[in-house]
Structure 1
């Protein structure tokens, strides 16, 4: 249970950092979650539409539109036509938002990467397996 409690503490602390970032940049905490989802999609090569984002955030169409509108107004997200299917509108994260994120979360990311640098490959694999498993439990709804 100690490992699970540590995971919960990390989650709470990270949530606080996200809240600080949101407040400092005139955003709602859901806006930060949306940016994270969009950055993850970009990293994975996944096309992100408003419908896709709404599913990830657990929002209805109106709620998703409100989030995207806020982020677009702040200059953090752009709506762009899909070049392969002009009927689809994709969401992209603007460089400004990435720079703000790096400025705020960069030291944490760098510290975590440095910390992991001291782990042996087998230890890193164990951490990956655990975190992936917990993520999958939560996304499957089995942990509710």
Structure 2
């Protein structure tokens, strides 16, 4: 590796980490604004995002998996789910032959609130993504998956898993 390439790699590493930190911070500001408007706690937002992402993957969360994902005890997870269900954000669903298995789904009312709040952001992010070809977006996807994996691995290590 040339000296110039090493220097550029160092610069890019620093710049990308700074950009990811800024993105994370700005996304949290928007999430807090949504939470504030709808009287939600930060943990509620983490739970709703976890449920939404699991649904998109086609693997809805159980209460136990949600608790694991956001680092809550069984009792705290139940209280969280109860609160979000009362607020119309989540619903419990029994979809398998085993009626004891409960899956968590985004409730229609909660999804409508989220869509109306975040809808103005979509054209802005679409405009940015339109500047990249599919091949470039695939590289970005791979990079972000790797970075998320690194964060999750470290988070689990901190939790003692």
Structure 2 length as normaliser, TM-score? Answer: 0.83
Q: Which residue of structure 2 aligns with residue 43 of structure 1?
A: 56
Note the aligned Cα RMSD (angstroms).
Answer: 1.6
Displacement after TM superposition at 1:107 (Å): 2.0
Displacement after TM superposition at 1:91 (Å): 1.2
Structure showing greater Rg? 2
In structure 1, stretches of 5+ residues that fail to align are none
1:110 & 1:34 partners in 2: Cα distance? 25
2:97 & 2:119 partners in 1: Cα distance? 34
In structure 2, stretches of 5+ residues that fail to align are 1-13
Give the count of matched residue pairs: 144
> Segments of 4+ in structure 1 off by > 6 A?
none
Q: Which residue of structure 2 aligns with residue 122 of structure 1?
A: 135
Give CA-to-partner distance per residue, 1:47-102, whole Å, 9 cap, x none: 31100100110111121112101101101111122332111111111111111111
Structure 1 length as normaliser, TM-score? Answer: 0.92
SS of residue paired to 2:141: helix
Q: How do residues 1-144 of structure 1 correspond to structure 2 at under 5 angstroms? A: 1-141=14-154
